[in-house]
Amino acid sequence: MLEGAATAPSSGVGGTRTASPQTPLFSARSELSRRYRRRSRAREIVTAYALLTPTLLLLSLVLAYPLAWEVWISLTNFSPLNDGPTAFVGVANYRHLLSTEEFWRSATVTIVYAVVTSAAKLALGIGFALLLARPFRGRALVFLAIFLPWAYPASVSVIGWYWTLSPPIPTAYSVFMGTMKYAVDGAFGGGAWAFLSVILFNIWRGSSFIGVFLLAGINAIPPELFEEALLESKSRWQRFWLVTVPLLKPFIALAIFLSLTTAFADLANVWMLTAGRIVFPVVGTHAYWLAIKGGQYGPAAALSLMLVPVLLATLLVLFRIFDSPEATHA
Amino acid sequence: MAQVLMKDLNKKYDEVHAVKDVNLHIRDKEFVVLVGPSGCGKSTTLRMVAGLEEITSGEISIGERVVNDLPPKDRDIAMVFQNYALYPHMTVYDNMAFGLKMRKFPKAEIAKRVHEAAEILGIQELLKRKPRQLSGGQRQRVAVGRAIVRHPQVFLFDEPLSNLDAKLRVQMRVELKRLHDRLETTAIYVTHDQVEAMTLGDRVVVMKDGWVQQVGEPLELYSKPANRFVAGFIGSPAMNFIEAGIKDGGALWAETAGFRVKIPPDRAERLKSYAGQPVTVGIRPEDLRLATGGDSSDHTFDAVVDVVEPLGSEILLDVKAGSNTMVARVEPTVRVKVHEPIRLALNAERLHFFDKKSEAAI
Encode pLDDT of B336-354 as tens digits: 989 999 999 999 889 999 9
- A330 → closest Cβ in B82, B88, B150: B88
Q: Which residues of A touch B134 (CB under 8 A)?
A: 330
Return mean pLDDT, chain A. 83
- Given this model, what pLDDT does residue B130 score? 92
Q: Which residues of B touch A (CB under 8 A)?
A: 50-52, 71-73, 77-79, 81-89, 98-99, 102-103, 130-132, 134, 139, 150
Instruction: Kindly report, residue by residue over B125-174, the tens digit of the pLDDT.
Output: 999 999 999 998 899 999 999 999 999 999 999 999 988 888 888 988 99
What CATH number has the domain bearing residue A264?
Answer: 1.10.3720.10
Total H helices, total E strands in chain B:
9, 20
Which phi and psi (to 5°) does residue B305 adopt? -75, 130
- B72 → closest Cβ in A230, A238, A249: A230
d(CA B89, CA B263): 65
With respect to residue A20, please indicate whether it lies within any of the assigned structural domains. Answer: no
Q: Which residues of B touch A227 (CB under 8 A)?
A: 50, 52, 72, 79, 81, 85
Helix (H) or strand (E) holding B188: strand B186-191
pLDDT score of A220 more than 50: yes
A37/A148 same-domain check? no
With respect to residue A168, please indicate whether it lies within any of the assigned structural domains. Answer: yes
Residues B30-59, mean pLDDT to the nearest whole number: 93
B341 burial type by CB count under 10 A (0-12 exposed, 13-18 middle, 19+ buried): exposed
pLDDT score of A193 more than 90: no
d(CA A283, CA A311): 13
A111/A70 same-domain check? no
- Binned at pLDDT 50, 70 and 90, residue A4 comes out as very low
Residues B287-302, mean pLDDT to the nearest whole number: 87
Q: Point out the domain boundary residue: A74, A104, A138.
A: A74
- Given this model, what pLDDT does residue A118 score? 94
Q: In this prediction, what percent of chain A has a pLDDT beyond 70?
A: 88
Cα distances (angstroms) measured from residue A318 to each of A129, A311, B327: 21, 10, 63
d(CA B303, CA B324): 9
A319/A185 same-domain check? yes
A104/A52 same-domain check? no
b vs e for A53-89, b when ≥16 Cβ sit within 10 Å of the residue's Cβ?
eeeeeeeeeeeeeeeeebeebbbbbbbeeeeeeeeeb
A156/A249 same-domain check? yes
A106/A65 same-domain check? no
- Given this model, what pLDDT does residue A279 score? 80
With respect to residue A85, please indicate whether it lies within any of the assigned structural domains. Answer: no
- Given this model, what pLDDT does residue A324 score? 60
Q: In this prediction, what percent of chain B has a pLDDT beyond 90?
A: 65
Residue A293's SS3 state is: helix
A58/A184 same-domain check? no
With respect to residue A81, please indicate whether it lies within any of the assigned structural domains. Answer: no
With respect to residue A5, please indicate whether it lies within any of the assigned structural domains. Answer: no
Nearest CA-CA partner of A77 in A65, A66, A94, A93: A93
A176/A316 same-domain check? yes
What is the total count of domains within chain A? 2
With respect to residue A80, please indicate whether it lies within any of the assigned structural domains. Answer: no
Residues B184-196, mean pLDDT to the nearest whole number: 93
- Given this model, what pLDDT does residue A325 score? 53
Instruction: Kindly report, residue by residue over B226-235, the tens digit of the pLDDT.
Output: 999 999 999 8
DSSP string, B210-269: TEEEEEE-HHHHHHS-SBHHHHHHSSSSPPEEEEEEEEEESEEEEEETTEEEEPPHHHHH
- B102 → closest Cβ in A234, A246, A329: A234
Residues B183-202, mean pLDDT to the nearest whole number: 93
- Given this model, what pLDDT does residue A327 score? 45
Tell me the nearest-neighbour CA distance from A253 into chain B, angstroms. Answer: 15
pLDDT score of A322 more than 80: no
Q: Which residues of A touch B (CB under 8 A)?
A: 222, 224-225, 227-228, 230-234, 238, 242-243, 246-247, 249, 326-330
Residues B39-55, mean pLDDT to the nearest whole number: 92
d(CA B84, CA B77): 16
Say if the Cβ atoms of B88 and A224 lie within 8 Å: no
Q: Point out the domain boundary residue: A43, A74, A105.
A: A74
Neighbours of B49 (CB within 10 A): 24
Asked which of A80-84, B97-101, B355-359 is least confident by mean pLDDT, the reply is A80-84
Cα angle B148-B58-B226, degrees, rounded to a multiple of 5: 80
Residues B258-271, mean pLDDT to the nearest whole number: 85
Tell me the nearest-neighbour CA distance from B182 into chain A, angstroms. Answer: 24
With respect to residue A249, please indicate whether it lies within any of the assigned structural domains. Answer: yes
A169/A250 same-domain check? yes
Residue A292's SS3 state is: helix
Q: Point out the domain boundary residue: A74, A104, A139.
A: A74
Taking one residue from A and the other from B, the number of pairs with CB-CB distance under 8 angstroms is: 72
- Given this model, what pLDDT does residue B239 score? 94
Residues A161-179, mean pLDDT to the nearest whole number: 88
A51/A170 same-domain check? no
A166/A275 same-domain check? yes
A113/A218 same-domain check? yes
- Given this model, what pLDDT does residue A211 score? 93
Give residue B72's Cα distance to chain centre: 26
Cβ–Cβ < 8 Å for B203, B217: yes
Say if the Cβ atoms of A232 and B51 lie within 8 Å: no
Say if the Cβ atoms of B87 and A247 lie within 8 Å: yes
- Given this model, what pLDDT does residue B264 score? 87
With respect to residue A239, please indicate whether it lies within any of the assigned structural domains. Answer: yes
Nearest CA-CA partner of A244 in A259, A234, A229, A232: A229
Instruction: Kindly report, residue by residue over B77-105, the tens digit of the pLDDT.
Output: 999 999 899 999 899 999 999 999 988 89
Residues B14-26, mean pLDDT to the nearest whole number: 91
- Given this model, what pLDDT does residue A7 score? 40
- A232 → closest Cβ in B102, B132, B134: B102
Cβ–Cβ < 8 Å for B229, B208: yes
Per the model's pLDDT, the better-predicted residue between B190 and A30 turns out to be B190
- Given this model, what pLDDT does residue A291 score? 87
Say if the Cβ atoms of A247 and B88 lie within 8 Å: yes
Say if the Cβ atoms of A234 and B73 lie within 8 Å: yes
Q: In this prediction, what percent of chain B has a pLDDT beyond 70?
A: 100
- Binned at pLDDT 50, 70 and 90, residue B1 comes out as low
Q: Which residues of B touch A222 (CB under 8 A)?
A: 83, 85
- A225 → closest Cβ in B78, B82, B87: B87
Residues A238-267, mean pLDDT to the nearest whole number: 88
pLDDT score of A271 more than 90: no
Residues B206-213, mean pLDDT to the nearest whole number: 93
Instruction: Kindly report, residue by residue over A5-62, the tens digit of the pLDDT.
Output: 444 444 334 444 444 444 444 555 666 677 777 788 889 999 999 999 999 999 989 9
Range of the domain at A310: 94-328
Say if the Cβ atoms of B85 and A227 lie within 8 Å: yes
Q: Strand B211-216 relative to strand B352-355: parallel, antiparallel, unpaired? A: unpaired
